[in-house]
A and B are shown apart, each in its own frame.
Chain A
Amino acid sequence: MTYLIRGKIALFIKVIFVTLIVSVLLLLAQSAFAQKEYVISAFLAIAVLLLALTYLTKISIPLKFFIPGILLLTAFVLGPILYTVTMSGFNYKTGNIISKEEAIVQIKVRGIESAPSGQTFDIKLGTYEGNPAILASDINTSEYFISTQGDRIPLVASALTFNEYGVAVEAPNFTPLTDSEFATADKLFTGARFTFDDRFFIALEGFEAGVVSQQVLEYLPESDQFKNLVNGGIYTDNGRGNYALTDDKNAILEPGWRAPIWFENYSKIVTDSRVREPLVRVFLWTVVFALLTVLTTFALGLLLALALNKPIRGRRIYRSILVLPYAMPSVMSILIWGGMFNTEFGAINTLLGTNIAWFSDPNFARVAVILVNLWLGFPYFYLISSGSLQAIPSELMEAAAIDGANPRQIFRKITLPLLLQILSPLLIASFAYNFNNFNLIYLLTGGGPRNELDGEIAGATDILISYTYKIAFGSGTQDLGLASAISLIIFILVASISLYSLRKSKVLETFA
């Protein structure tokens, strides 16, 4: 085996391997560049450089161990996190998703209206002398012409071929689109303006009809404004991602773009009561949920550990059964519990002889969430408590017993404090984990029940993370900027909890 790791053969294998990966990445970088994905392309190029430098020279030995991990971490964890953090300073939400340049183009395309005459043409798409063109027919007035984006060529009916509706389908020098060209016609024809006369142009409505239209909104590049050509209204960049009418701030043009609004998403959390109130409610429930989960799972796990801390008959069987909830894939157990809480058919109501609508009543839904999490979590605390119980020296208990302490006193005065000391980092870690237990809430209740009538998106069992997910990706207005700001706050909370626990458990001191 050794020859695979040192010597000439090893070097040969290494060079081939590195060359292979580097060339694949180079290929990707090149095609990314061709598709104008400059950031990705640059990242890949840097990756190639680092890989080659690290593995073919002796520039840094630690990097040989870190590079693959660091590259993946940067691409799929650090990069997305930085993006999210940046977005918390923008008004990145439904209606303001695209960039300003894209928004200006969109507004121009949308800023047209049909001419007062209301004239429309039946059209055929095709090319005229190599340029995209339309063959327009008005079957009422028998007016026919070819129109390109720069020219209009009148036609006489005798030179044309018609279909059964009287629409011209063929004309001299006009090549209709083939079926395969139709598939890609969208890019060329949508939004294109075909010549009608000096003032009006023909805009397509689908691929079959053209409407005589005029531009209403005109972009003025020097002053960065839009002008309404019909009534003269001026729309100015309001600094918040929209063009707004100078006299009426609420009259904005759609779509807007994502504009930096700095700390407004954060200040909104404090000042806007429509954001603050649900958030505070959700935050309180998150803390209660995480605390209750840790308490109940720890209590039940400890009770079991104490009960089975003696080699009683059948202990191995108990142990195997008790860890089953922990060994089962949790996605599946959560979904199964969801079915068990069904009001009409659910096993829980059948068992209790009740008819409770578990997921429609806020309090019952909360009980259900805690109960399911207890089922999922107690085996973990059973396993670690029984391990830790064995780690407590038995001399301590014996000494206490000799001094006349009864079993209850021994437990309260000796066992429990010692256990808590051993397990406190894990208890805090469990709190931090459940603080962000997205899967449970998302799969079990979806955060509900919620009051849908007043348009509130926070449900009774929503925790911060599931609520934020709804803000960002929900079915209504998606506000990624606000969601990013909240996730940064969650991050700071969880990080402080975890760092506190780590400091306590002294893990970090090994790096001092």
Chain B
Amino acid sequence: MNKWLRQDLWRHVVGISICLFSLFPLYLVVISSFSSTGSLQLSSFIPREISFANYSKLFNDPTIPYLTWVKNSLFIAGSVALLSVMIGTASAFAFSRLKFKGRKFGIQLLLLVQMFPAILAISAVYVIMERVYNFAPGIGLGTQPGLLLVYLGGAMGVNIWLLKGFVDSIPAELDEAAKIDGASEVQTFWLIFVPLASPVLAVVALLSFIGTFNEFILARLFLVDMESRTVAVGLQQFIGGQYSQNWGPFAAGSILASIPIVIIFLSLQKYIVSGLTAGSVKG
């Protein structure tokens, strides 16, 4: 008993106290989502009432197109995830396997470009898309396809290290064998590499999905219409006002939007961690 205390008790103390620290804000959101007062107030640790008013407001109030926001977020984040994995994987494959002039320069340039504080280039992006709107209103400022295009601008660079690291780890004999059988580089990519890499591609797609889901500044700048907003932008307006903070629907909406992401994250934890240690930082 004494030995157990000495060896394991501190581990549990640390574990439990930090768990409380992690859970506290989340617990608070859960309580406020079930409270009808609309504040993020901590009146007691045990909820006095369980009201579904906030949840039903999200789905029934015609001024809050919550489901549309969720759909927009899923559409934008999903498309960005899919397309950016395709673009990123193709680039990583080429950087890793093909020999060409300027390879080293290319990847270093890509690396440098990513270090520019993108937020400051926003005004230029804004000007460009404003002009695009003039001749192609469907893909310019204020549209989801436009936002999608802007997000895809970063597709080549983000996660390139993670992907390239993985391509490097696939034995080159496989490509050579394919080459001897008469496969071209493009065929090798689709028939050998993509099937082998699919677990990693899934993780990269997930990271990109979460990153896009979380993006706020560009989405707010671009999506002005109530109907075209993403969840993050839509929910923020409940509490964005200085004097009118309405935490109830915000809490309920955040919980519903977070649950799928948290579940995917927890179930793919093992793969994500290996991705993280490969050098990427969550955005």
Contact = CB atoms under 8 A, between A and B. Distances in A.
* Majority SS at the chain A contact face: helix
Contacts of A442: 217
Contact of A483 (B87, B120, B157): B120
B281 interface: yes
B50 interface: no
B217 A439 contact: yes
A499 to B, nearest CB: 8
A296 to B, nearest CB: 12
A139 interface: no
Contacts of B153: 72-73, 75-77
A483 B121 CA distance: 10
A509 B212 CA distance: 31
Contacts of A318: 15, 19
B98 interface: yes
Interface stretch (B55-63, B125-133, B197-205): B125-133
A321 B22 contact: yes
B112 A28 contact: no
A482 B217 CA distance: 21
Nearest to B132: A40
B11 A465 contact: no
Given A61-B98, A304-B18, A80 B128 contact: yes
A505 interface: yes
A310 B273 CA distance: 19
B224 to A, nearest CB: 16
Contact of A425 (B122, B131, B216, B279): B279
A417 interface: no
* Majority SS at the chain B contact face: helix
A387 interface: yes
B123 to A, nearest CB: 6
Contacts of A495: 112, 115
A323 B8 contact: no
A308 B90 CA distance: 39
Contact of A380 (B157, B191, B282): B282
A442 B215 CA distance: 13
B254 interface: yes
Contacts of A512: 104
Contact of B15 (A304, A333, A375): A304
B: contact size bracket? 35 or more
A323 B29 CA distance: 17
Contact of B150 (A76, A315, A380, A510): A76
Contacts of B276: 380, 383-384
B1 interface: no
Given A342-B40, A468-B117, A2 B152 contact: no
Nearest to A501: B279
Contact of B119 (A32, A72, A465): A465
A86 to B, nearest CB: 9
Given A308-B11, A329-B258, A346 B156 contact: no
B11 A426 contact: no
Nearest to A6: B187
Interface stretch (A15-23, A63-71, A161-169, A221-229): A63-71
A429 interface: yes
B42 A350 contact: yes
A251 interface: no
Given A69-B87, A336-B25, A84 B135 contact: no
Interface string A320-360: 11111111111111011111101001110011000000000
A115 interface: no
Interface in B83-100: 87-88, 90-91, 93-94, 98, 100
B277 A324 contact: no
B114 to A, nearest CB: 8
Interface in A65-109: 65-66, 68-70, 72-73, 75-81, 83-84, 87
A304 B186 CA distance: 46
B166 interface: no
Interface stretch (A230-238, A362-370, A486-494): A486-494
Nearest to B20: A321
A498 interface: yes
Interface in B125-171: 125, 127-128, 131-132, 134-136, 149-150, 152-157, 161, 168
B235 interface: yes
Contact of B103 (A332, A384, A511): A511
Contacts of B82: none
Interface string A110-124: 000000000000000
Contacts of B29: 336
B52 interface: no
Nearest to A327: B265
Nearest to B83: A68
Contacts of B185: 61, 64
Interface in B266-283: 266, 269, 273-274, 276-277, 279, 281-283
A37 B140 CA distance: 13
A59 interface: no
B250 interface: yes
Given A69-B88, A81-B116, A310-B8, A337 B261 contact: no
Nearest to A490: B117
A73 to B, nearest CB: 5
Given A79-B124, A331-B214, A5 B135 contact: no
A487 to B, nearest CB: 4
Contacts of B40: 336, 339-340, 342, 345-347
Contacts of A65: 90-91, 93-94, 98, 189
B64 interface: no
Given A318-B15, A439-B216, A472 B265 contact: no
Contact of B116 (A66, A328, A331, A491): A491
Nearest to A73: B156
16 contacts: A65-B93, A72-B155, A76-B152, A77-B153, A79-B128, A307-B10, A310-B8, A329-B257, A331-B236, A332-B235, A340-B28, A347-B24, A347-B41, A351-B42, A384-B277, A442-B217
Interface of A: 2, 5-6, 28, 31-32, 34-35, 37, 40, 60-62, 64-66, 68-70, 72-73, 75-81, 83-84, 87, 300, 303-304, 307-308, 310, 312, 314-315, 318, 320-333, 335-340, 342, 345-347, 350-351, 375, 378-380, 383-384, 387-388, 425-426, 429-430, 432-433, 436, 438-439, 442-443, 465, 468-469, 472-473, 480, 483-484, 487, 490-491, 494-495, 498, 502, 505, 507-508, 510-512
Given A40-B132, A61-B98, A73-B113, 17 more contacts: A5-B186, A32-B135, A61-B184, A68-B87, A69-B156, A70-B156, A77-B157, A81-B113, A81-B116, A84-B124, A331-B214, A332-B257, A336-B40, A425-B279, A426-B277, A483-B120, A505-B279
Closest 4 interchain pairs by CB? A76-B153, A69-B156, A80-B124, A80-B121
